[in-house]
Amino acid sequence: PRSGRVFSGIQPTGVPHLGNYLGALENWVSLQDQYPSVLYSIVDLHSITQPQDPTQLKSNILDMAASLLACGINPEKAILFQQSQVSEHAELSWILGCLTSMPRLRHLPQWKMKSKVKNEGSVGLYTYPVLQAADILLYRSTHVPVGEDQVQHLELAQDLARIFNNRYGELFPEPCALLSTRKVKSLRDASAKMSKSDPQTMATISVTDTPDDIALKIRRAVTDFTSEVTFDPETRPGVSNLVNIHAAVAMISVQEAVSQARGLDTGAYKKLVSEAVIQRLTPIREEIERLRSDRAHLERVLAQGTCRARELAAPVLAEVRRRVGF
Ligand code: ADP
Ligand code: NA
């Protein structure tokens, strides 16, 4: 076991997709056993930086809770909680926001990507990375599992820890990234990542897709005109994405996946890949269905997580307030 505290968050987008699972959640599960203190937050404050329907948001929060539990997050090993229920996040975010500048935030990826869509964005979307820094620093976290797209946001959290420590005295460790490099690509366009927001439903596999859905989506996955299966993400992105998915769900190496494909054309290989995906996702889908039918249980798990998160957050925020002069 290592020392330190792990923090990570996921937006309540409802049920995760295969990219979320293989790129983030699978690693979250293994970190529970590696670190003595682990916190995972359903970051609903972050989600309202884009318009959300209130009823849908409430149900997405519970769906995400059910999904995290079904994927293997164990509330005995990790504190699983809902961000908005620990008001210290918002308060620390305000204080940290006063320690950085508008230009420092302007070039961060989230703002650049999401504000472009409508050529405008909320103040919340602009200061999103400051809230993210608060999420991390509030627990004096040391390790943050992130995807490559989040590295610049983590750098802001490191800067803010340093700036606060310089001005008010040492309090926050500088959190370091546990970088996840695994990328699942869209099944319709392997130059793009698999994403919840992809309008093409055939491009994304949800962890609750039925075996028939999964088989159909993989059968329709874009490959190329070479029937042999080889691994070369540069020249054969589509088939290489299937090899990566196969290796990840079957927990084998890419070389092993390619050798299992020997003698199969891409059509036959797609069957093999769908079977592997179905085998991996079926227990998760069944567990999500079971958990979804017990809303009270999900609410209880989150409420217990909230209590434990608050116990850690309150003394840190009290110390911050004292240092600031409140
Ligand atoms: P989306 O892009 O579908 O909205 P999020 O941005 O909410 O997904 O990502 C949640 C987590 O899942 C992040 O840690 C992110 O890095 C990871 N993730 C999202 N999509 C993928 C993907 N296609 N491959 C690997 N990891 C992914
Ligand atoms: Na994203």
Residue 8 Cα: closest atom of ligand 1? 14
Shared domain check, 205 and 160:
no
Shared domain check, 257 and 117:
no
| CA-to-CA separations, 231 to 221, 239, 242, 247, in angstroms, rounded | 16, 7, 9, 11
What is the ipTM metric for this complex?
A: 0.94
> What is the domain-level CATH number for residue 57?
3.40.50.620
Local structure of 56: helix, strand or coil: helix
Shared domain check, 103 and 75:
yes
Shared domain check, 96 and 119:
yes
Q: Which residue in 196, 217, 270, 271 is the catalytic one?
A: 196
> What is the domain-level CATH number for residue 280?
1.10.240.10
In a domain, 190, yes or no: no
Shared domain check, 179 and 131:
yes
Domain that holds residue 87: 5-184+295-324
- Whether 270 sits among the annotated catalytic residues: the reply is no
| Residue 112 confidence (pLDDT) | 74
Q: With a cut of 70, which residues of the chain have pLDDT below it?
A: 116-119
Predicted TM-score of the model (pTM): 0.95
Mutate to test the pocket of ligand 1, among 13, 15, 18, 20 (most ligand atoms within 8 A of CB): 20
How many A from CA of 14 to the centre of ligand 2?
14
Shared domain check, 132 and 41:
yes
| Residue tagged 């040492």 (tokens) | 170
Shared domain check, 233 and 215:
yes
On the CB side of 110, CA atoms within 13 Å amount to: 24
| CA-to-CA separations, 248 to 21, 24, 85, 266, in angstroms, rounded | 10, 12, 35, 18
Shared domain check, 130 and 97:
yes
- For ligand 1, whether the C-beta of 195 sits within 6 Å is yes
| Residue 85 confidence (pLDDT) | 98
How many A from CA of 19 to the centre of ligand 1?
6
Shared domain check, 123 and 43:
yes
How many A from CA of 76 to the centre of ligand 2?
28
**DSSP character for 184?**
P
| Residue 326 confidence (pLDDT) | 97
Shared domain check, 313 and 279:
no
| Residue 141 confidence (pLDDT) | 98
Q: Which residue in 114, 118, 217, 271 is the catalytic one?
A: 114
Local structure of 42: helix, strand or coil: strand
Residue 195 Cα: closest atom of ligand 1? 3
- Whether 196 sits among the annotated catalytic residues: the reply is yes
- For ligand 1, whether the C-beta of 193 sits within 6 Å is yes
| Residue 117 confidence (pLDDT) | 66
Residue 182 Cα: closest atom of ligand 1? 25
The per-residue pLDDT for range 43-91, each reduced to its tens digit, is 999 999 999 999 999 999 999 999 999 999 999 999 999 999 999 999 9
The per-residue pLDDT for range 126-143, each reduced to its tens digit, is 999 999 999 999 999 999
Shared domain check, 106 and 164:
yes
**What domain count does the chain have?**
2
For every residue of 200-263, DSSP letters joined together read -GGG--BTT--HHHHHHHHHT----S--B----TTT-HHHHHHHHHHHHHHT--HHHHHHHTTT
| Residue 118 confidence (pLDDT) | 62
In a domain, 86, yes or no: yes
Shared domain check, 128 and 57:
yes
